[in-house]
Amino acid sequence: MNTYSVRKGDTLNELAKRFGTSAKEIAKKNGLEDINKIQVGQKLIMPDSFEQGTRTGSTNSGTSSKPSPEASAPATTAAKSGPAKDDDGRQFPTSRDGTPIYKQGDAQWGGRTLGSSSSLAAAGCAMTSTAMAISKITGKVINPGELDQYLDKNGGYSGNGLIWGKAAQMAGLGASKPGWSFDNINKQIDAGRPVVIGVDYKAGSNGGANGTDHWITVTGRGTQNGKPVYYANDPATGKEITLTKDGNRLTGGPQGYKSTGELVTFSGGNPNPGTAPTNSQPGGETPTQTPPASSVDMKGTTLPGGELKKGARGPEVEQLQNALVKSGHLTQADMSTGPGIFGPKTEAALKKFQADNGVDAIGIYGPKTRAAFEKLGAKIGGGSSTPTNPTGPTTPVGDLPKTGNAFLDRVAADAIKSQRQTGVPASVTLAQAMLESGSGQSGLATKANNFFGIKGEGPAGHVTMPTKEFLNGKWVTVNANFRKYNSPAESFADHGKFLRDNRRYANAFNHTDNAAQFAREIHKAGYATDPEYSNKLISIINKYGLDRFDKIARG
């Protein structure tokens, strides 16, 4: 059940439509004698629309009124990986791949207002589906209530329509809507990245003719009775459902869902492919899931040429760990517990990678494993692409070419050192420093040696400063705490580490040899809210020829 606080203009008939029930049922639940008399502020218990046998209405733009569940029993939920637990200690069931299963009508959040009107229970399918997907991809349980709070504060809705990129941003991910294709879907779910798809359920709508009515989270695939099937978490019922492939469409689930061709995918994070359960499903056949061979692009990653096994230490181990993080088999947090040390976590991650890529899962890095990485685009032999210790040229920076800008000339050496230390292009670092600090003249730069607007607690504490943020389509001024440094060099070094160690910027490190694309990727990942941020950086790089410093840093 959900509790709703009556607002001005509400009627029981309108609330019944919104919550997928009837005015008579609301009156009955609340002991109302006259369905025409309700008062502003009155608390009403709303029947859970997904326990009812009726449904009404629909909307577009990532929201919907919801269908009732099938009269027959839903597909069995196989929580092979066990329940997921959120920050409050509440446990949620998981689907066969380990994705938490949320119900949009859950009493904990179902009564929250979605966007400008309606409720999560009535129209929160897109947002709930997204919460499930990003929880799996990041390994952090983000429930719909938490996601809705974030979206409310960060301009995540357009009316009632979800802004997908904003929702993904909460988890440090990116979102996109590629063209519908099973190839796109398969690559994502096989790599452990659930996708969100649009479906409809209206009788006679012919799979999309009337637009998307509902959104669900596709988590995996397998076979049933010799035919390909896909598994999805349905926010309407809070159950895992099975969909069948029908031409270029997926069908099945409550009231015969039909995919509409709308597909949302998520980038970033450290996804881990799921495994098929051992229990049998309806139809008399044990489902089998396609082995999730890694689909990640490992270009730009360098790995050692020798053999490594448990107990090894040094920069070559760290190269392997960085590669396993990039492939999604080792988390950044686990790597941080022992960078450069081949321990149990590195061994387990390597075994996962080997199993997913057709290599004997023995946990030893050797010729077959090197070949598997090479097949994915990695380079064997040489230095790491994103080292945590200096692996670039160690010669002194020496005299540098002049840019014609005194500030850039003064800090160019610090940017070069940062590139050698972290892989962040010196040109991007310099452009950001110039833009963020007003060429070193901002209050934040003069008071805190902070040239990049990085918030939080720094080596020398913090300073509180007003800052402009682009929210809800307009610029607003807010106060925030910014890191304080003891010297400019300390600021530049921390900036590179900040980008390198924050996994939301992982995609940028695929483009360390392309400063413009690196700038676009950190912008896309949420470094700044200014919609023109990356364009401004690229303009500065071109104006002052800053890419020459990238070449100097590479030696």
The CATH number covering residue 338 comes to 1.10.101.10
Q: Which is the catalytic residue, given 213, 494, 521, 550?
A: 494
Read off the CATH number of the domain in which 261 is found.
Answer: 3.90.70.10
Q: Answer yes or no: do 9 and 119 share one domain.
A: no
Question: Which pairing describes strands 84-85 and 91-92: parallel, antiparallel, or unpaired?
Answer: antiparallel
Residue 74 has a pLDDT of 29
- Rounded CA-CA distance 297/384 in Å is 16
Burial class (CB in 10 A: 0-12, 13-18, 19+), 368: middle
Contacts of residue 475, defined as CB under 8 A and 6 or more positions apart, other chains included, come to 468, 469
In a domain, 420, yes or no: yes
- Rounded CA-CA distance 114/118 in Å is 6
- Rounded CA-CA distance 151/522 in Å is 21
User: 213 to each of 57, 218, 263, 462, how far by Cα in Å?
Assistant: 9, 16, 14, 48
Burial call 394-432: b when 16+ CB within 10 Å, e when fewer:
eeebeeeeebebebbeebbbbbbbbbbbbbbbbbbbbbb
Residue 539 has a pLDDT of 95
Q: Answer yes or no: do 273 and 194 share one domain.
A: yes
Burial call 79-90: b when 16+ CB within 10 Å, e when fewer:
bbbeebebeeee
Q: Answer yes or no: do 347 and 462 share one domain.
A: no
Residue 10 has a pLDDT of 77
In a domain, 388, yes or no: no
Q: Answer yes or no: do 268 and 132 share one domain.
A: yes
Domain count, the chain: 4
Question: The dihedral of CA 429, 434, 440, 442: what is its sign?
Answer: negative
Q: Answer yes or no: do 66 and 43 share one domain.
A: no
Report CA 240 to chain centroid distance, whole Å. Answer: 21
Q: Answer yes or no: do 34 and 104 share one domain.
A: no
Q: Answer yes or no: do 74 and 209 share one domain.
A: yes
In a domain, 175, yes or no: yes
Q: Answer yes or no: do 42 and 129 share one domain.
A: no
In a domain, 53, yes or no: no
Catalytic residue status for 547: no
- Among residues 237, 260, 292, the one where a domain terminates is 292
**Three-state secondary structure of 198-237:** EEECCCCCCCCCCCCCEEEEEEEEEEECCEEEEEEEECCC
- The 3-state DSSP class for residue 248 equals coil
- Rounded CA-CA distance 218/207 in Å is 17
- What single letter denotes the amino acid at residue 272? N
Question: Which pairing describes strands 302-303 and 379-380: parallel, antiparallel, or unpaired?
Answer: parallel
Catalytic residue status for 285: no
- What single letter denotes the amino acid at residue 431? A
Q: Answer yes or no: do 250 and 102 share one domain.
A: yes
Residue 66 has a pLDDT of 38
408-417: long-range pairs with CB below 8 Å, 24+: 408/434, 408/439, 408/544, 408/546, 410/440, 411/440, 411/451, 411/488, 411/492, 412/549, 414/488, 414/489, 414/492, 414/493, 415/492, 415/549, 415/553, 416/549, 416/552, 416/553, 417/489, 417/492, 417/493
In a domain, 391, yes or no: no
Q: Answer yes or no: do 286 and 138 share one domain.
A: yes
Q: By residue range, what is the domain housing residue 201?
A: 58-292
Q: Answer yes or no: do 277 and 224 share one domain.
A: yes
In a domain, 544, yes or no: yes
- Among residues 271, 292, 313, the one where a domain terminates is 292
- Among residues 380, 415, 436, the one where a domain terminates is 380
- Other C-beta atoms closer than 10 Å to the C-beta of 300 total 18
Residue 276 has a pLDDT of 32
Any idea how long the chain is?
Answer: 555
Angle at 55 between CA 251 and CA 136, to 5 degrees: 50
Residue 73 has a pLDDT of 28
Read off the CATH number of the domain in which 4 is found.
Answer: 3.10.350.10
Q: Which is the catalytic residue, given 48, 70, 297, 469?
A: 469
The answer to whether 150 and 142 have CB atoms below 8 angstroms apart is: no
pLDDT tens digit at each of 555 positions of the chain: 345 677 777 788 777 766 656 788 788 878 888 877 888 878 777 654 332 333 333 333 444 433 333 222 223 333 345 577 766 678 889 888 889 999 998 888 888 888 777 788 888 899 999 999 999 998 889 999 999 989 988 888 887 788 999 999 998 888 898 888 998 999 999 888 999 999 887 544 444 444 688 899 999 988 777 788 999 999 999 999 999 988 889 998 877 888 988 999 998 887 877 633 323 233 333 333 333 444 467 888 888 888 888 878 777 888 899 888 888 788 877 777 777 788 888 988 898 888 778 788 888 998 889 988 988 888 887 433 333 333 444 445 667 899 999 999 999 999 999 998 889 999 999 999 999 999 999 999 999 999 998 887 788 888 888 876 655 666 677 777 888 888 899 999 999 988 887 777 888 888 888 999 999 999 998 888 788 999 999 999 999 999 999 999 887
In a domain, 399, yes or no: no
| pTM across the whole model | 0.42
Q: Answer yes or no: do 1 and 97 share one domain.
A: no
In a domain, 398, yes or no: no
